[in-house]
Structure 1
């Protein structure tokens, strides 16, 4: 079985676990989670009693072929130095770390590497995940990752040079539109006497 390993169970890692399981794209027997903090591991086990919990990141990569790394960018190099020595090169690394390029990751691991940038609205299945595959990623692995992230929202394939601009639009765009709608509703309510709550409902 091609288990999906998720290294990191903070905001992003837990969002992915919840989203994958809620959508049905994966079952609890198809996910293994590793997290540095015991509290995070306990929280995951409490929320999903049947999910796989790895005691270490190295244990996780021995059990999984698709490995999603959901840690802060400054932790990425340390994670790679820890796990790459026990990998056989057939794995597929999916990095969620903003600002860490494919080239940097491929410098540590010369196999299949993908960058994925989900938005916060992916937590409710309404987000957009930007996906950029490295040169070594085959069709099977590409479709596998795109299928996983499409279960929590839309997937948009982008070139790596377009990631900063695309991230700005996908992350800030929804918030900006919400602010505009709220201001429009407020202005209409003040001008017309319409209750603010009702004006907001009508505007959305």
Structure 2
């Protein structure tokens, strides 16, 4: 893989570039960036060799073998209007909620289209990226960025997309903890530092693949202790059911094909 284009240089586009330039893994590919997200694109081109900001999205496509489309889903019809994508390109769709069928219709191309869910941690090559369908070039790209997890069909892909949507809920949970502590007289910066350290340590335990998640939970609580008390009184069956219902509703929307010309969800 020698030439990668990125249309839409936001958080994920930046993370992909930084991951490709973080060292190791052989020669780095040339990367061509769209002028969307101009400030970020210019900053990346100034930091790294082999990064070029193109005049427009068509130049990105023309110069690249693999084209990553990372614009916001509500902007993709406008951003991609009029683009010509030859069938010998490979298109990587990282837009949440935009199906392969919808993107192919927008691009009017016969090129292979692969959906992917890269996370910001690809900048440290520290996150597995779900892909569909499996494609040797795309899977090799994400193996370089922390690992690829190809799935069999778009329905399974949408399950992983729904799981990814829980990330900011986790951050909101941590924010609630720090706010609660501050309400009891703890300095906000001290509460923030403690909660960060607490959950960073918990996150490191996830690297132990010998223990399933339910086992990790059991190993972190004492029968009758405070961890068990909070888990069983707050994360009760009603709470679990509410979370499951929210995930099911999101998945139903992700599985629903948007009508032609309508905004993607």
TM-score > 0.5, shorter chain as reference:
yes
Tell me what 1:190 maps to.
none
Alignment coverage as a number of residue pairs: 184
8 A Cα contact 1:9 1:44, kept in partner: no
Once residues 7 and 56 of structure 2 are traced to their aligned partners in structure 1, the CA distance between those partners, rounded to angstroms, is 9
> CA offsets per residue over residues 104-158 of structure 1, 9 Å max, x none?
122232221111111233332221211012xxxxx8xx11111111122231112
Residue aligning to 2:75: 75
Q: What runs of 5+ residues in structure 1 fail to find an aligned partner?
A: 134-138, 184-195
Match of 2:166 among 163, 167, 172: 172
Match of 1:191 in 2: none
Q: 1:145 aligns to what?
A: 138
| Aligned alpha-carbon RMSD (Å) | 3.3
Computing the radius of gyration over CA atoms, which structure comes out larger, 1 or 2?
2
The TM-score with structure 1 as length reference comes to 0.74
CA–CA distance in structure 1, aligned partners of residues 44 and 93 of structure 2: 20
3-state DSSP of counterpart to 2:5: strand
Partner of residue 129, structure 2: 129
Partner of 1:115: 115
Can you give the 5+ residue segments of structure 2 that lack an aligned partner in the other structure? 178-190, 203-265
The equivalent residue for 1:103 is 101
Deviations 1:68-89 (A, max 9, x none): 11111112222332322xx332
**1:30 paired residue number:** 30
Distance 2:4 2:127 in 1: 21
Distance 1:63 1:162, change over 3 A: same
CA distance in 2, matches of 1:203, 1:65: 41
Distance 1:23 1:59 in 2: 27
> In 2 relative to 1, CA 81–9 (structure 1 residues): closer, same or farther, beyond 3 Å?
same
Check conservation: 1:120, 1:171, Cα contact below 8 A. no
Greater per-residue strand proportion: 1
Task: State the secondary structure of the residue aligned to 1:153.
Answer: coil
Q: What is aligned with 1:21?
A: 21
Partner SS state of residue 46, structure 2: helix
Per the alignment, do residues 172 and 153 of structure 1 end up closer, same or farther by CA in structure 2, a change over 3 Å counting? farther
C-alpha distance in structure 1 between counterparts of 2:66 and 2:200, whole Å: 44
Distance 1:26 1:79, change over 3 A: farther
Which residue is 1:60 aligned to? 60
